[in-house]
Amino acid sequence: MQFSGRQIALMAGAGVVGLVALAAGTVCLTSGCSTLGYYAQAVGGHLEVVTKSRSLSGWIEAEGTEPRLRERLQLARRMRDFAVQELKLPDNASYRRYADLGRGAVVWNVVAAPELSLTLKTWCFPVVGCVGYRGYFDRAGADALAAELKAQGLDVNVYGVPAYSTLGRTNWMGGDPLLNTFIFWGEGELAKLIFHELAHQVAYADDDTTFNESFAVAVERLGGERWLAKFATPEARQADADAAARRADFRALTQRTRQSLATLYASAITEAEKRERKAGLLAAMRAEYEQIKSTRWGGFSGYDGWFARANNASLGVQAAYNELVPQFERLFEQQGRDFERFYAEVKRLAALPKAERRAALAAAPVAAR
């Protein structure tokens, strides 16, 4: 299991919600018919997911359901109820159905950044605004776009994603289902994914991926801690602690590398020198990863693929999922550790202009426990 993929892309193609909601009325305008084709694949892909899903009860009660799958679906149903009762997350159709897609990812995301910058290229969609990735339900479509972007001289990364959110706007048609792409994850990881994706239905700020993802990561951490403490076995808690320690090491290493690259790219040296030093920094990061893997992780190789492909694009998108998490955790404390009050404040911030939103979040005082 490669948790690195989950670490950087739980929302998986957020633009899908806008495409699903509006593609039926889209015509070929200034962006051309290629845009309509992209919308069509998004709608078709989502409809495939919906049509392959059926209720958890249907799967659980069916005689042909494998015992291992039945147990996981029962566990996921308990997590879904916990999300409503304990975390005050939306009580709707999402994650009350299951689909087996017969593949290891539901969406493939494409991210890109300039050769000497960590600033992600963005794409803009109806409803959700602009995001720093473009999602495809078909790997071939993602690879085709990646080839175009590489030809333009950009650093590009394509990665498979296990889950995506339609922000609750498709609950009328069954909502976002549980999928084979993550149902057998460790107990803590499964709970956190469900809580994370439901958090996207609570609050969403247009054109601010970092705000949205950091908020969802904060909710998954807070909720995951409560679930594990209340229900998990000691073995499950230890497995989650081990995974959390690896993620902390991963974040620390990649953050240091991003900071070093940002300083390099902002310097006054020539582009040729920047390219040479960039290669050295990435090589040093990979060498340190190998050392951490062997000395601290017992040889755990789940991040191998990420480090093998690491570039400006992958480092840029990874930052969006962690940058504001401490501020959201502080806001939760400031709101008395009350989820409903916390969500109300996050919704208020999401409605503000981006600069005001970030300033208000940074200024939130810490309340005494």
Q: What confidence tens digit (pLDDT) does each residue in 153-210 have?
A: 999 999 999 998 888 888 888 889 999 999 999 999 999 999 999 999 999 998 888 8
Q: Residues 299, 332: one domain?
A: no
Q: For 113, list phi and psi in degrees, rounded to 5.
A: -150, 155
Q: Residues 206, 347: one domain?
A: no
pLDDT at position 29, please? 37
Residue 162 in domain: yes
Dihedral (CA of 172, 173, 174, 180) sign = negative
Q: Residues 290, 351: one domain?
A: no
Residue 1 in domain: no
Q: How far apart are CA 6 and CA 110, in angstroms?
A: 15
pLDDT band at 137 (very low <50, low <70, confident <90, very high): very high
Of 287, 303, 319, which residue sits at a domain end?
319
Model confidence pLDDT, tens digit, residues 80-108: 999 999 999 999 999 999 999 999 999 99
Contact 133, 164 (CB under 8 A): no
Task: Tell me the H-state helices in 23-124.
Answer: 33-52, 56-61, 67-85
Q: How far apart are CA 332 and CA 341, in angstroms?
A: 8
More confident residue, 132 or 340: 340
Residue 279 in domain: yes
Ramachandran sector of residue 178 (left: φ over 0; alpha: ψ -120 to 50; beta: rest): beta
Q: Residues 83, 132: one domain?
A: yes
pLDDT band at 24 (very low <50, low <70, confident <90, very high): very low
Q: Residues 257, 334: one domain?
A: no
Q: Residues 306, 335: one domain?
A: no
In this structure, what token pair is assigned to residue 250? Answer: 């991963």
For residue 211, pLDDT over 50 is answered with yes
- Closest to 187 measured CA to CA, from 242, 230, 227: 227
Q: Residues 145, 267: one domain?
A: yes
Q: Residues 342, 199: one domain?
A: no
Angle between helices 209-231 and 234-266 (to 10 degrees): 160
CB-based burial of residue 147 (10 Å sphere; 0-12 exposed, 13-18 middle, 19+ buried)?
exposed
Span 313-340, average pLDDT: 91
pLDDT at position 128, please? 64
Q: Which pTM was predicted?
A: 0.85
Q: Residues 220, 177: one domain?
A: yes
pLDDT at position 181, please? 97
Model confidence pLDDT, tens digit, residues 305-316: 999 999 999 999
- Closest to 352 measured CA to CA, from 216, 210, 208, 215: 208
Contact 167, 179 (CB under 8 A): no
For residue 71, pLDDT over 70 is answered with yes
For residue 18, pLDDT over 50 is answered with no
Q: Residues 198, 281: one domain?
A: yes
**One-letter amino acid of 296:** R
Residue 146 in domain: yes
For residue 221, pLDDT over 80 is answered with yes
pLDDT band at 366 (very low <50, low <70, confident <90, very high): low
Residue 5 in domain: no
Number of domains in the chain: 2
Residue 4 in domain: no
Polymer length of the chain: 369
Q: Is 367 helix (H, G, I), strand (E, B) or coil?
A: coil
Residue 2 in domain: no
Q: Residues 159, 279: one domain?
A: yes
Q: H or E element: which one contains 252?
A: helix 234-266
More confident residue, 363 or 15: 363
Residue 82 in domain: yes
One-letter-per-residue 3-state SS of 171-226? HHHCCCCEECCCCCCCHHHHHHHHHHHHHCCCCCCCCCHHHHHHHHHHHHHHHHHH
Report the DSSP pairing between strands 97-99 and 178-179: parallel
Angle between helices 339-350 and 209-231 (to 10 degrees): 170
pLDDT at position 126, please? 72
For residue 357, pLDDT over 70 is answered with yes
Q: Residues 49, 113: one domain?
A: yes
pLDDT at position 31, please? 38
pLDDT at position 179, please? 97
The domain of 49 spans: 10-319
pLDDT at position 11, please? 37
Average pLDDT, the chain: 88
pLDDT band at 36 (very low <50, low <70, confident <90, very high): confident
CA angle at 288 for the pair 283 and 294, rounded to the nearest 5°: 130
In this structure, what token pair is assigned to residue 254? Answer: 């990649």
More confident residue, 3 or 255: 255
For residue 152, pLDDT over 60 is answered with yes
pLDDT at position 127, please? 65
Span 126-130, average pLDDT: 70
pLDDT at position 124, please? 84
